[in-house]
Structure 1
Amino acid sequence: MKKTNKLVLSILMLLFMQFIVAQSISITGTVTDDFGETIPGVTVQIKNTAKGAVTDFSGKYTLQANLNEGSNILVFRSIGYSTKEIPFNYESQSEIVIDVVMEADILGLDEVVITGVGALTAKKQIGNVISSVSGLDVAESASLDVTGALSGKLAGIQVSQNSGDPAGGISVRLRSASTVNGSSDPLYIIDGVIVNNNSTNVLGVTGVVQNRLSDINPQDIDRIEVIKGAAAAAIYGSRASNGVVQIFTKKGKTGEPVITLSTSLNFNSLRKKRDFNEEPFDWASSDITDLTKVPVTRYDYQDMVFQNSVGTDNYVSIAGGMEKTNYFASLSYLQNEGIMKGTDFERIGGRIRINQDINDWASASIGTYFSTSNSNDTPSGGYGFGILPTILFADNKIDPSKDAEGNYPNLTFYPNILEYIETFEFQQKNNRMISDLQLNLNPVEGLSVNYTLGYDSAESTGTTYVPIGTNTVALGSASTSTITTKQVNSDLNASFITDISDKFESTTTAGFSWQSDDTEVRAISATGLALGVKTTDGAATISTNENRSQRTFWGGFVQQTFGFDNKLFVTGALRLDGSSVFGADERNQFYPKASMSYLLSQEDFWQNSLGSIFDSFKIRAAWGQAGNLTAIGPFDRLSNYGAVSIDGSSGLISPTQLGNPDLKPERQTELEFGLDLSLFKNRLGIELTYYSQDIEDLLLARTLSPSTGAGSRIENIGTMKNKGFEALLTATPVQSGDFTWSVTGTFSTNENEVNNIEGEQFSIGNFGFSVAKNGQPLGVFYQGYYARNDDGSLLLTPGGLPQREKGSYDSNGNPIPERDASGQPSGANLSKVIGDPNPDFIASLINEVTFKNFSFRMQLDAVQGVDVLSWDTRMYYRFGGGPQTASELRGESVRGTGAAKFGIAESYIEDGSYVKLRELSASYLLKDPLKGIDNVKFTLTGRNLLSFDNFSSYDPEVNMDGQSNGSRGGVMGLTPIPRVIKIGLTATF
């Protein structure tokens, strides 16, 4: 007992002595670049402590700290610049001035990133690719969605806007698809919170599906870091097997309050009208041999449904802090009209973050974000009725305007296009809250412990009303659907850094994560409405639906990194992941990882021979495994009996799909090699990466024998391969004090192949035309094709019409054309792979020019070698309103050609390749214009201004299956992506 008391007394005396020795000091200075220009946003930190500050818009900083006398090191970090460490001695001074000049780091090797362990890690130590995008690039992209702003910014990332709806969903793929039935979307993390980016189809219309990152204001973003492949899963768990998009929001900084105010106007317009039938004639008879024509009036339905629209985006934030506390708060209001009449999107959001230093070795942070949004939508596109599908199915010789009695004329079997706009009511409402609590401890030198508790709640409600008397639902209909998702993640990570010797450094990290999500779906729909009633109340037929599900995920990891002489880094890691969706015997799986990073340019032999050419030269390699924990639902491993009511009594019916308790996660193994090099005094940077992914144990349905009493069972039976190449080039051809020209280019390829599918193939979307087929990329189009002569020309009917190929299949399933005595096709209709929606390559080119206070930016995005299944083209073949009918009326093609092509899928496969002028912007920064105003920035930005393509419809980028994983490239009556011109003003006080 006495020994214990003495030990406690000794510790207290040491702490007291430390308190006496530690003195308060103010460190100030200015940070500039090679040309003497000040650098804002530089992080300044006393090494191995939590004490830090950030430079203001004038490049100045002030840091208050309690220090012990002796040697200390001040560390300066900023994106685009090499990290600088400045040693200094503290001898009881009250103030020290340290000015620093930072050098450009075009590859960002000294850039510090967050790798999931809560510790800062320089990119030069990492064996896999981590890419960054600044918050300024996100905010000034003119994209209303955070994910849309990533388009073209990084190599190996494909961003597609699936609809031009004001809040239309956006698909993001890092490299390629990694599963068939699950999702290939990356894991999204905002300030340590694993967030929900689900596609919420609460209206039953795929063309207006939103995903939930539309709730986030891009102006709140400080930076985004993207990790691709299995390397991400080694730290974040197998939910990150498709990669990770880490979003870091803005924080406060020590100093006087800084207020930022921005406002903008968006002008939206239809970029391109599609060709339609403008011939003032129609056929007198339905007999295709009768070429008699009669005069008619043709109407341009597009002008009746599209509009030029306006939107506004307003934002205000305040940031500041004292010695131990800093804060950031923002409010925003967005209102944007769609180019489709009757559509709009409104969002109100707010964010608060407070960071608190508890003492010299402990700090805490708490943040919350809320948003509420409302949208008015119209049915348009996809698998059901809608405005643009009505145009596709209609012959445009009918005036859609109401008659004298207020009735809408029938255009086709769908409702009238004006009837949709003027009488249908489709609305979505969303409420979102994302909150986190973080605790950071540095109890001893080199040890950091970080805990994050994250919570994400999202609720989406869709209401629909179809009036009585429409073609689709004569008695009218109404519905309400609500999807509520709540997610919680609890992460504890620790990292210990120590010097084994003067040249050897060790970093040991370990962590544990627990996650859960609860989803509730509630829906009520009705037909046969009471007169004057727009809800389900009192309807003749009412149906309800309710689903509730819960999943939990857990995992832990240990990772060890050894560094030698700050140039060679070797890492090994082992992770255990589990998920409640799998059986008890298979739900826990181990996944290893190994990586290496070697800066050859740090070696003496390299500097002596090639140092004058290469400023830096890094080789890297990474290998890792991950599972897919979300490829099946919470109850798919079970035999789920269906509830049914029979003669007023409740009962159960046998399932068509048997359960399988032995299901295990799909397993992905990835190997990655890369080079990072900079040349010509950091004027040129090149990043090259080759990767290969092997995915096994794909979870697919196997057909069962009828004697089992069921149709199928999910099993681990399929495989998939991905291999690709990524290149990122950054260059500064011209750089002087007043003028800078920088160029960024990306290029990415990927080859995908699916195998070991039972039955050779199965349909996954696009009305069954998109398939998963052995030996082919996921989602290829498999359907009928043209009959052709030996020379490749079309084999026409005696009447001069194209026709579908016929014949039989050989033992390997390959089609064999057959001919009758007259040389015409005979046998059964044949099908084959007729198109591939996966691009050969994607690329981008960004040019940025600054001259004094002026800046200019231009971004081109390219997607090449991609096929589109254009249902728009198919419908225009047959229903009279398209250019094919006009061609036949003019005698340029045989009457009936369009009807013949309608039944041949190859005829509406189109080249979906494009090069888009994605962003074009100019800005002017006015410094200190008035007393109390630090600066004012004027911007003019255009988005999706031009598209260079051969696509006959509006836009080859959209997709009727929304965020579907395997079914891509289908276009049918979708709202086109608008051209946007944005005028903005940002002021800082």
Structure 2
Amino acid sequence: MRFNLDHEISNRFNFSLSTNYINSIAKRGLTNNDNAGVSFGVALSSTPSFVDLFRDDSGLYPDNPFAASNFLQTRDLMTNKENIDRFLGGFTLNTNLYTTDLSSTKLVLRAGLDFYNLKTIAIFPRILQFERNGNQGTSIQGNNYNLNTNFAAFVVNNLSVADNTLDFTTTIGATRENFNQDQVLTIATQLIGSQTNLDQSSAVTVDQTQLPVRNKGLFFQEEVNFSDRIIATAGLRLDKSSNNADVNEFVAFPKFSLALNLANFGFWTQESINMLKLRAAYGEAGGFPPFGSKYTSFSPFNIGGNPGIIVPIQRGNADIKQERQKEFETGVDIGVLGDKAILEATYYVKTVSDLILVQNVPGSTGFSTRIVNAGELRNRGIELSLSSTPFDVAGFKWDSRISYWVNNSEITELDVPAFPLGGFGNTLGTFFIEEGKSATQIKGIKGDEGVVVLGDAAPDFQMNFHNFFTIKQNLTFSFLLHWKEGGDNINLTQLLTDLGGTSFDYDDDDEGDGIPNAKERTDALGVTAEPFVQDASYLRLREIGLYYTLPTSLLEGVFSGIVRQAKIGLSANNLFTITDYDSYDPEVSNFGGNGLSTGVDVTPFPSSKRYFLHLSIGF
């Protein structure tokens, strides 16, 4: 449910209010990697297709002799759902402080609220195959409470001089952000009979995590615009955070930009080129350390009913500070034939210094890791896009946008020993952080050569093809194709199916040497990780849609002007994917989207195909 309101109180005051409440319920599956072999994908990897695992006439499910779980029984009898309540609200008050013919000054006050409450319930009854041999029934219930607020106040002055050919926009202000998160997870095992309540069990463990964060900022910005010919901006932001070691230190981050629109100058005579903009920008920003990285916290411990505390594995770092992100970009925008074709080209270099990493420390210290500022990461890339209208005739219009981008990363400095980050070790392939090398390189063993680079998760390039076709201003057809060329995954799904005898090419012999494909790959275990580092290129239909806007004359005749607009449509996402990658989905990330260890494939649930019916009515 949404409610938005814009209101002008007087010539001096006006405000806007936006609210959005969402309640959603999701019934979740049981996918991705697990060490017990009970998730759907892992259990399927060792289960032949001919095995009958359906329930019998008495309602009982047979045990799966090939895996730790009967995934049909798990699917039918488990509960794994979440209920989300979320409220988003924003308020802005504008006050006109001073106005003349050349200048105006206003005060802007803003406040925002994001309330998010997630309740999870996962119940695995003791009748399940893997529960009978394990926890004897499990009830997992959690609550994730989040209340985030933000406040900002700034003064904006607009000044026009030189007959309104030179405009100055000055902004100065302050911000405050409050993040409050309280996570409680309770796990009850050894359930009594068919009970699901947490108190109807023999063993209960509770874990609570509280994450309060406070950020404050000051900022100043000056923008100068000379007749839309020269546009320059300079700004400075000061940030401090409760996550920094020194909570009272403001850290400065400057920014500058300059754009020249040569086609707006009097000397420009090329009528076919109506826009030629040269632009450059430099800016800095900070990345705050994760919560708790500066503290050595303590974990609860219980022996014989006597509570206590023990030192955990992570040591606090009293000197931790923000990462500093520095980015320079330059580019050109060219418009021809009245902007029927617009080319945008950008080159950028982004460096992250004081890179926040997890460092391994000697076990003699009593700890195993700590979070440190210990490196520098550099990204370089280009972004190209071409927007055009190839056809624009009576009754038919075609708008098209083609985008191309590529990024190359490098760890330019590393103050800790090189270390693996995500993956399953050198035997199967692992992401490896190493000075002078790509931040997304994959290393593993390769026979007598030892541990070598076997691939890289970064694509060679990516492209989007976005097209809109409008017929007689009423019928619109659109689609978006996404092409990813290159970029490797660590494919452990194929290894699991090879070991379980269920690979789609288990008995094929692509080499023609009398050794089946699956045997060649499993024989490579311990010798080389090459078979499991695979190219994950693909071409995917991201979106496709067909929409029809009812003619105005029809609406006026039927609804007598009450309905001014009506639109219906059908759309879909991820209808097809073309790839040579040997798993469910080339676009995977078993360890989340942190950017440094994506592309690990362990029986993922593939991207869903989604279908939508659209109806829009305006009164």
Q: Give CA-to-partner distance per residue, 1:340-379, whole Å, 9 cap, x none.
A: xxxxxxxxxx011122111012101222211111111121
Q: Report if aligned partners of 2:538, 2:579 keep a CA contact under 8 Å in 1.
A: yes
Q: Is the aligned partner of 1:419 residue 2:76?
A: no
Q: Is the aligned partner of 1:546 residue 2:208?
A: yes
Shift of 1:386: 1.3
| Count of aligned positions | 594
Q: 1:775 is matched with which residue?
A: 436
Q: Report if aligned partners of 1:448, 1:495 keep a CA contact under 8 Å in 2.
A: yes
Q: Report if aligned partners of 2:301, 2:307 keep a CA contact under 8 Å in 1.
A: yes
Task: State the alpha-carbon separation in 1 of the partners of residues 221 and 290 from structure 2.
Answer: 29
SS where residue 42 of structure 2 aligns?
Answer: helix
Please tell me the residue identity of whatever aligns with 1:648.
Answer: G
Larger Rg: 1
Q: 1:366 is matched with which residue?
A: 17
Q: Is the aligned partner of 1:905 residue 2:529?
A: yes
Shift of 1:976: 1.6
* Residues 695 and 784 (structure 1), Cα distance of their counterparts in 2 relative to 1, 3 Å cut: same
* Residues 389 and 706 (structure 1), Cα distance of their counterparts in 2 relative to 1, 3 Å cut: closer
Please tell me the residue identity of whatever aligns with 1:353.
Answer: N
Q: Give CA-to-partner distance per residue, 1:568-604, whole Å, 9 cap, x none.
A: 1222111100100112277420111111111111112
Q: What does 1:805-954 align with in structure 2 at a 5 Å threshold?
A: 805-806=447-448, 817=449, 830-852=450-472, 853-887=474-508, 893-894=514-515, 896-903=519-526, 904-928=528-552, 929=554, 930-931=558-559, 932-954=562-584
Task: State the alpha-carbon separation in 2 of the partners of residues 716 and 983 from structure 1.
Answer: 50
Shift of 1:404: 5.6
* Residues 452 and 403 (structure 1), Cα distance of their counterparts in 2 relative to 1, 3 Å cut: same
Q: Report if aligned partners of 1:395, 1:411 keep a CA contact under 8 Å in 2.
A: no
Q: 1:679 is matched with which residue?
A: 336
Task: State the alpha-carbon separation in 2 of the partners of residues 889 and 509 from structure 1.
Answer: 66
Q: Report if aligned partners of 2:588, 2:598 keep a CA contact under 8 Å in 1.
A: no
Report which structure shows greater RCO (CA 8 Å, sep ≥6).
Answer: 1
Contiguous gaps of at least 5 residues in structure 1: 1-349, 786-804, 807-816, 818-829
Q: What does 1:9-408 align with in structure 2 at a 5 Å threshold?
A: 350-384=1-35, 385-403=38-56, 406-408=60-62
Task: State the alpha-carbon separation in 1 of the partners of residues 117 and 91 from structure 2.
Answer: 22
Q: 1:511 is matched with which residue?
A: 173
Q: 2:605 is matched with which residue?
A: 975
Shift of 1:942: 3.2
* Residues 936 and 564 (structure 1), Cα distance of their counterparts in 2 relative to 1, 3 Å cut: closer
Contiguous gaps of at least 5 residues in structure 2: none
Please tell me the residue identity of whatever aligns with 1:410.
Answer: N
Identity of aligned residues (%): 24
* Residues 504 and 983 (structure 1), Cα distance of their counterparts in 2 relative to 1, 3 Å cut: closer
Q: Report if aligned partners of 2:460, 2:485 keep a CA contact under 8 Å in 1.
A: yes
Task: State the alpha-carbon separation in 2 of the partners of residues 656 and 984 from structure 1.
Answer: 52
Q: Which moved more, 1:357-366 or 1:751-760?
A: 751-760
Please tell me the residue identity of whatever aligns with 1:972.
Answer: V
Structure 2-normalised TM-score?
0.91
Task: State the alpha-carbon separation in 2 of the partners of residues 738 and 890 from structure 1.
Answer: 56
1:499 to 157, 160, 163: 160
* Residues 462 and 963 (structure 1), Cα distance of their counterparts in 2 relative to 1, 3 Å cut: farther
* Residues 737 and 975 (structure 1), Cα distance of their counterparts in 2 relative to 1, 3 Å cut: same
Q: 1:455 is matched with which residue?
A: 113
Shift of 1:534: 2.2
SS where residue 528 of structure 1 aligns?
Answer: strand
Shift of 1:759: 5.2
Shift of 1:868: 1.6
Please tell me the residue identity of whatever aligns with 2:433.
Answer: A
Task: State the alpha-carbon separation in 2 of the partners of residues 979 and 603 from structure 1.
Answer: 50
Q: Give CA-to-partner distance per residue, 1:388-445, whole Å, 9 cap, x none.
A: 2211122334222234652322143321121121111111111101112210122222
Structure 1-normalised TM-score?
0.58
Q: Report if aligned partners of 2:521, 2:531 keep a CA contact under 8 Å in 1.
A: no
Shift of 1:647: 3.9
Task: State the alpha-carbon separation in 2 of the partners of residues 538 and 522 from structure 1.
Answer: 19
Q: Report if aligned partners of 2:276, 2:332 keep a CA contact under 8 Å in 1.
A: yes
Task: State the alpha-carbon separation in 1 of the partners of residues 470 and 360 from structure 2.
Answer: 62
Q: Which moved more, 1:876-885 or 1:715-724?
A: 876-885
Q: Which moved more, 1:711-720 or 1:649-658?
A: 649-658
Higher strand proportion: 2
Shift of 1:870: 1.6
1:624 to 270, 279, 283: 283
Q: Give CA-to-partner distance per residue, 1:143-172, whole Å, 9 cap, x none.
A: xxxxxxxxxxxxxxxxxxxxxxxxxxxxxx
2:593 to 954, 963, 972: 963
Please tell me the residue identity of whatever aligns with 1:597.
Answer: A
Task: State the alpha-carbon separation in 2 of the partners of residues 622 and 396 from structure 1.
Answer: 58
SS where residue 450 of structure 1 aligns?
Answer: strand
Task: State the alpha-carbon separation in 1 of the partners of residues 85 and 276 from structure 2.
Answer: 48
Shift of 1:506: 1.5
Q: Which moved more, 1:389-398 or 1:677-686?
A: 389-398
Please tell me the residue identity of whatever aligns with 1:835.
Answer: G
Q: 1:243 is matched with which residue?
A: none
Q: Give CA-to-partner distance per residue, 1:271-292, whole Å, 9 cap, x none.
A: xxxxxxxxxxxxxxxxxxxxxx
Q: 2:262 is matched with which residue?
A: 600
Shift of 1:464: 0.8
Task: State the alpha-carbon separation in 2 of the partners of residues 412 and 889 from structure 1.
Answer: 27
Shift of 1:850: 1.2
Q: What does 1:694-843 align with in structure 2 at a 5 Å threshold?
A: 694-705=351-362, 708-758=365-415, 760-768=417-425, 769-785=430-446, 805-806=447-448, 817=449, 830-843=450-463
Shift of 1:624: 1.2
Please tell me the residue identity of whatever aligns with 2:353.
Answer: E
Provide the alpha-carbon RMSD of the alignment: 2.3
Task: State the alpha-carbon separation in 1 of the partners of residues 404 and 512 from structure 2.
Answer: 45
Task: State the alpha-carbon separation in 2 of the partners of residues 843 and 712 from structure 1.
Answer: 40
Q: Report if aligned partners of 1:878, 1:902 keep a CA contact under 8 Å in 2.
A: no
Q: 1:247 is matched with which residue?
A: none
Please tell me the residue identity of whatever aligns with 1:382.
Answer: N
Please tell me the residue identity of whatever aligns with 2:357.
Answer: L
SS where residue 660 of structure 1 aligns?
Answer: coil
* Residues 494 and 889 (structure 1), Cα distance of their counterparts in 2 relative to 1, 3 Å cut: closer
Q: Give CA-to-partner distance per residue, 1:906-931, whole Å, 9 cap, x none.
A: 21222211111222222222123312
Q: Give CA-to-partner distance per residue, 1:7-30, whole Å, 9 cap, x none.
A: xxxxxxxxxxxxxxxxxxxxxxxx
* Residues 641 and 707 (structure 1), Cα distance of their counterparts in 2 relative to 1, 3 Å cut: same
Shift of 1:866: 1.2
Q: 1:663 is matched with which residue?
A: 320
Task: State the alpha-carbon separation in 1 of the partners of residues 438 and 588 from structure 2.
Answer: 20
SS where residue 623 of structure 1 aligns?
Answer: strand
* Residues 485 and 587 (structure 1), Cα distance of their counterparts in 2 relative to 1, 3 Å cut: farther
* Residues 984 and 514 (structure 1), Cα distance of their counterparts in 2 relative to 1, 3 Å cut: closer
Task: State the alpha-carbon separation in 1 of the partners of residues 345 and 64 from structure 2.
Answer: 58
SS where residue 473 of structure 1 aligns?
Answer: helix
Q: Give CA-to-partner distance per residue, 1:539-572, whole Å, 9 cap, x none.
A: 1211111121200000011111222233112221
Please tell me the residue identity of whatever aligns with 1:438.
Answer: T
Task: State the alpha-carbon separation in 2 of the partners of residues 919 and 393 from structure 1.
Answer: 34
Please tell me the residue identity of whatever aligns with 2:610.
Answer: V
Task: State the alpha-carbon separation in 1 of the partners of residues 334 and 509 from structure 2.
Answer: 59
